[in-house]
Structure 1
Amino acid sequence: MRLTYLFDPLCGWCYGAGPAIEKLAGHDNVTLELLPTGLFAGRGAGRMDAQFSEYAWSNDQRIAKLTGQRFTDDYRTRILGAGGAFDSTAASLGLTAVHATDPGRELTALKELQLARYVRGQDIVSVAGVGEILLSLGLAKAAERMLARDPALVEAYGRRIQTARTLMRRHGLSGVPALLAGEGPGQRPLPGNALYEPLEGLLAQLGAA
């Protein structure tokens, strides 16, 4: 089955869905495509003031309780407590660079970016911060293209975002994470809570879709 995963690197619920996505990607009968939506880029970007940080931490605790994913004090102090930008452009651009240079490692790069933010409290909202993480993964070509703001890469990033947003409109989706099963006219979205169920239940829903 072909699956399309719509996400944003700064989405806590997408981080919560990470274990399910990783299991699906390792399934013999699944082909998984990643598409960043730019939900928190461009007009969706913002700043982390005290009110936003408090809301985010409260939401993160709900995600942790439901999924078992970790949100550490380092994240709370260095990311939420430090203020600054809330913008997923750099992370999505970096993932597009990985997709262009070493597509088989894009999911690994996404997981590492999420762990960098939510566990280690590292910067993934700047090009420099994302580039450092890509280099640590041995993804030097991807890091080089992103840091150089390669025009072809920026164009590819825009196309991916546009494709993801077109799919969201087509299927009436307003948020992420979202998982689409199939392709073409037969493509169908799964229920929003499917990614937080045991793998057996998720696979059953995929079979029904």
Structure 2
Amino acid sequence: MKRLYYLFDPLCGWCYGAGPLLETLVQRSGEQLQLLPSGLFSGEGARPMDEAFAAYAWSNDQRIERLTGQPFSQRYRSEVLDKPQQMFDSGPATVALTAVHLTAPQREAEALKAIQHARYVDGLDNTAIAVLLELLRGLGLDDAAARLAQPDAALLQANSARVAQARQLMRELGAQGVPSFVLERDGQRQLLNASTAFSNPEAFVAQWLAA
């Protein structure tokens, strides 16, 4: 039995940059692919969107766009980065994705793409529950939206368990950040070399399928 874990954070620009690769993995890997949010920018990892951090983020985003072709719009810059009252907190989006995982797991990657596009292209604040609810409903993920609108203990526990699993894998294998890809085969786990993940997604997929 072979499985690929994709460790990510919905506010990670490099994870957005890996979007084309993730789409290919979903098409080629099916149920062998499992998404695990790392909680990197939630909880203690959350922070205010101040001017210095916004400038750093935009500079980094431009590197990602040059390397991957994934767009970061001027609307994102003005409506998200230049709004110091907003928090840089992936907690709400992470819970939204867990709600999708519990109600329509085969569509979690699709929901992640929509959440990322809303921020980086449409310039929407995807840290806001109202925005996330509208996105989920727009995708027809009404059950997930209902769970997110009134999060119960089961949803929050599932979310914590997913984040804990991702962090355990990162510690176990020495992953330095996200996105990271972990191959599990016959009970053994290894961190895949992601050097081609952005420059040549097809080569990375071939590496995974041949492993």
* TM-score > 0.5 by shorter chain: yes
1:6 aligned onto 2:7: yes
Amino acid at match of 1:22: E
- Matches of 2:124 and 2:166 in 1, distance apart? 27
Q: 1:34 — aligned with what?
A: 35
Q: Equivalent residues in 2 for 1:116-127 (5 A)?
A: 116-127=118-129
1:149 aligns with 2:176: no
Q: Within 5 Å, which residues of 2 pair with 1:1-209?
A: 1-27=2-28, 31-83=32-84, 84-183=86-185, 185-206=187-208, 209=211
SS of alignment partner, residue 156 of structure 1:
helix
Q: Which 5+ residue runs of structure 2 have no aligned equivalent?
A: none
How many pairs align? 209
User: TM-score scaled to structure 1, two decimals?
Assistant: 0.95
What is the rounded CA distance, in whole Å, between the counterparts of 2:156 and 2:66 in structure 1? 37
Deviation sequence 1:57-78 (CA, Å, 0-9, x none): 0000000000000000110000
User: Contact 1:21 / 1:195 at 8 angstroms: preserved in 2?
Assistant: no
C-alpha separation in 1, matches of 2:162 and 2:75: 32
Please give the alpha-carbon distance, in whole angstroms, between the structure 2 residues aligned to 1:149 and 1:20: 31
Aligned-partner Cα distance in 2 for 1:183–1:166: 17
Higher mean displacement: 191-200 or 109-118: 191-200
CA pair 101-167 structure 1, distance change in 2 beyond 3 A? same
How far residue 152 of structure 1 moved from its aligned partner, in angstroms, is 0.8
CA distance in 2 between counterparts of 1:184 and 1:10 reads: 32
CA distance in 2, matches of 1:207, 1:99: 24
Q: What SS does the corresponding residue of 1:26 show, helix, strand or coil? A: helix
**CA–CA separation in structure 1 for the residues paired with 2:59 and 2:208:** 31
1:31-72 CA-partner distances (Å, limit 9, x unpaired)? 210000000000001011000000000000000000000000
Distance across 1 between alignment mates of 2:101 and 2:88: 23
1:51-107: per-residue Cα shift (whole Å, max 9, x none)? 000000000000000000000011000000112100000000000000000111111
CA 1:159–1:30 in 2, change beyond 3 Å: closer, same or farther?
A: closer
Tell me how far apart the structure 1 counterparts of residues 57 and 174 of structure 2 sit (CA, whole Å): 25
Amino acid at match of 2:156: V
Contact 1:38 1:161 in 2 (8 A): yes
Whole-angstrom CA distance in 2 between matches of 1:140 and 1:30: 22
Q: Distance in 2 between matches of 1:199 and 1:117?
A: 23
Greater shift, 177-186 or 101-110, is seen at 177-186
Percent identity, aligned pairs only?
Answer: 48
Q: Which moved more, 1:127-136 or 1:114-123?
A: 127-136
- Give the TM-score taking structure 2 as reference length: 0.94
